Every structure is written in C-alpha cells, then in structure tokens.
Amino acid sequence: MKPVDHSVTLHNVVKRYGQHEVLRGVSLSIPANTVTCVVGPSGSGKSTLLRTINRLTPIDAGTVRVGDQIIGYEQRDGRYHELSDRQLCRQRRRIGMVFQDFNLFPHLTAVQNVGEGPRRALRLDAATARNRALELLRRVGLTDKADSYPGQLSGGQQQRVAIARALAMRPELILFDEPTSALDPELVAEVLAVMRQLAAEASTTMVVVTHEIGFAREVADAVVFMDDGRIEAVGTPAEVLHPDASPRIAAFLSGNLK
C-alpha cells in the first residue's frame, strides 16, 4: 500500500470546456522530491494542469499518474474503471493542495482547520489530531493563532494555516495554486519563506503554479513554461527563464505577456 515513489507523470492530458481546449495533450514528468514551478501567462492552462493532478478537474483524455497509481481510475480486466468517491479520497490524501484564495473553513479555528483532515480522513483520535495540528502551526510560526478563526487572521497568516492544513495529511506531493497571488505585497514574503523552508527539507514533491519568477529561479529544480494549453518549455530555471529560450518566454519575462 505504501508507495515508495511519488513522482508525477502526465500523459497526453486533454481538458475541454465546451469547444475550448484548455489543455491540448500535455505530457510531463516530474521526479519525486523535486520542486517544479509552472509559469506562463494567465489563461495558459497552468492552474487547470495543476488541478488535474488531484482530479479536482476531471480530464477528457490522457492519464495522470502519481507514483504507480493512475489518478481517478483503477485498472481491472484490461479497462480503466472510474474510482468511487471513497477510493478517490484515498488517493487525494497523498496529495496536498494550497489554493490561491486559501479556502480555509471559516467556521473552524486554525487548529481545527489543520486537524480536520487527520481527524476525519485519517480517523486519528482527537488529541493526536490536535497535537499534530499544533506542531504544524508551530512550523509555520502561528502557535499563538491556534484558536483564532480565519476571519481574524491576515491573508499571509491564513495561507500559512492552509499550508499547515495540507501538510497535516503528511502528503508525498503538494500542489500550490498561485499561493501568493491573492496576498498584499508585504505579506508575500512570509508565505514564500515557509515554502522555501519546505522545499529545503526535500521529503516531498512540490508543484507550484506561480507568478513569482524570483522564487522560481531560486527554489525550483525545474520550470515548466505553459502557453495556450501546451508546454512551451521545460528545463532548469536558468534554461527556461531566459529570453533566449523562445520569443514567447522573452515577451513574458519582459512583462508584455500577462
């Protein structure tokens, strides 16, 4: 049951909304324990790509694998059978996610937000779940905010609680969907600091959709540049985040593409 490998492999992933093809056959391989940043202009499909990995967005064609498991399907008698809700939840427990708008549960305190997954999905007892949640809040520097409701926290603090909530499931893989885009400029640094620290520990795979080019340069092992539903370039930050890589990338880096 315990998978050793937690790499991500996408093969020919297609997503359509009506006539519009958001992902046009994307293939990508992300090694385990690495940090991959996905960048590109808005509407390029980068958030959709991220959301296919834990099947918040079901895909129309192709396969998504995390480790040796195909996400959302099970192979039996030569066919792919769509998983039940319960089985899909079991897969999602291995995959953490941090959202642009935090999506904290407003009726629960910080420590309850973080402990909810361990308590309900992993069925830990209340004291163990709470201790795990407190430990994670300490890691993101919010011990004193444990009993605050999300509405009483700043955006940066909320996002750090959200990161702790994702970590509480001890995931092998964490997806970050533009984690700093909804923050006031002066709050971005505290969230990036937590993510940087996480990346340095190197025990999880991180996939980060971001507009923070500086962060990508500094932290990423690989950078994926997306444009119009396709991957334009993959490589090290130095290779991809360089004006010579392609005219589109040059335009993006100079700020002419948003």
Question: Which residues here bind other proteins, judged by CB under 8 A?
Answer: 54, 56, 85-86, 89-90, 92-93, 95-97, 99, 101, 103-109, 116-117, 120-122, 149-151, 165-166, 168-169
Q: What CA–CA distance (Å, rounded) separates 124 from 104?
A: 21
Closest separation in Å from C-beta 148 to other proteins: 9
Bridge partners, 75 (sequence order): 80
| Closest CB to other proteins among residues 165, 248 | 165
Closest separation in Å from C-beta 189 to other proteins: 24
Helix (H) or strand (E) holding 81: strand 79-82
| Closest CB to other proteins among residues 148, 246 | 148
| Closest CB to other proteins among residues 150, 229 | 150
Closest separation in Å from C-beta 47 to other proteins: 12
Q: What CA–CA distance (Å, rounded) separates 17 from 15?
A: 7
C-beta neighbour count of 81 within 10 angstroms? 11
Phi, psi (degrees; rounded to nearest 5) at 207? -120, 120
Closest separation in Å from C-beta 169 to other proteins: 6
Q: What CA–CA distance (Å, rounded) separates 105 from 112?
A: 9
| Closest CB to other proteins among residues 95, 233 | 95
